[in-house]
Chain A
Amino acid sequence: MPPSWLFALIGGALIGAAGSLLFLTHGRIAGISGVLGSLLPPFAHDRGWRLAFMGGILAVGLVGGLVAPALVGASVRSLPLVIVAGLLVGFGTRMGSGCTSGHGVCGLSRLSSRSLVAVTTFMTTGVVTASLAGAL
């Protein structure tokens, strides 16, 4: 069984490759919160590639659940907390114009000062929240 860090590295490299493919073919940033948000009001005009991209992600999730269910972990919080988490993630990523893929992968790669601030901020509040929740 390969070590955890190797999975992380390879998975990360594939994420980077996927984002690069989207940029080469469509000239777009692979920011998941952005692509998802553009399929909600106000709807983007060019929904073709966005729906296809989302479809690819979901299809892999569906297949993954069947062939490699161990790769999807169980939730560690109660349902009410998961719902609160979802609301915060949805509201926050839209307000902040990005998430770990948009600001983290793409923004940092471009040396974007906006993304550097965003990543520093969400990493900080993420660490504080998880650490507090773990201590409580």
Chain B
Amino acid sequence: MIGQLKYAVKYALGLDRAGNNYTVHPDDTFLVSYPKSGNTWVRFLLANLIYPNESVGFANINRLLPAPGVLSKRFLSKLPRPRILKSHEPFDVRFRKVIYLVRDPRDVAISEYHFDLKKRYIAADMTLEQFLKPFIAGETSSYGSWWEHAASWIGPRYGNPAFLLVRYEDLLADPVGETAKIAEFLGIQADEGRLKTAVERSSADRMRKLEKQDADKWTGTKNTIQDIPFVRTAKSGGWKDSLPRDAVEQIEVAWFPLMNFLGYDLASKELDSKAVPPWLRSGQPT
């Protein structure tokens, strides 16, 4: 009862967590990705790009590049527009303008496994092999499986001018060039110098240091196992060393058409490396 009352008061004051029940404006831009696909890194990149005079860190990232789910409706309604918001949601028709960040699911699997251990979402003795089946079935995340997530966004929106598809791997290979593309999509004027500064300020090394400093001040790292870092390797292709061959095959068998489309080379030779989802062949967005 006390809990309900507390919630009622918070709700009346607009101080309850917005969750999924916040107002989306037509001029909002969403930075969307499946979890563990580089979303936090891009939030840092954009925050550093947009607010060069702020010292961007884990303590203020929720304010600078807000995650609506964990913020209050009052805070969200007071943000200057147009807003840039972070999201892990699968397709949401209200999101008109979307930067969709995608990452090789073989690396996502490893990253999510470590993150779920850190968050105590899974048992401490669960092996990566055991994690894989529920991961592929979409049972390890409330946002669905990697396929469901990517297909729900890329399917209806690919080719739409208000949809920018960014690969985490491209961002790693050429952070300045890819950040420039995102800046252009957002209509942010940024010269090479400003882009470079933003990239340097968001480097994995720097983010690791900031994480140590502020781990207790951010929703992503508060009350988690601190021996397991949030900013881990920040690399691509880690699956080649740390994902068992059998696990690689399971992921590829499940999702190869979309992986082909996204340019993630298959290790399993018996799968058709030319097959892509037919809805991506048919051209126009729905």
Q: Please indicate whether A and B come from the same complex rather than being unrelated chains.
A: no
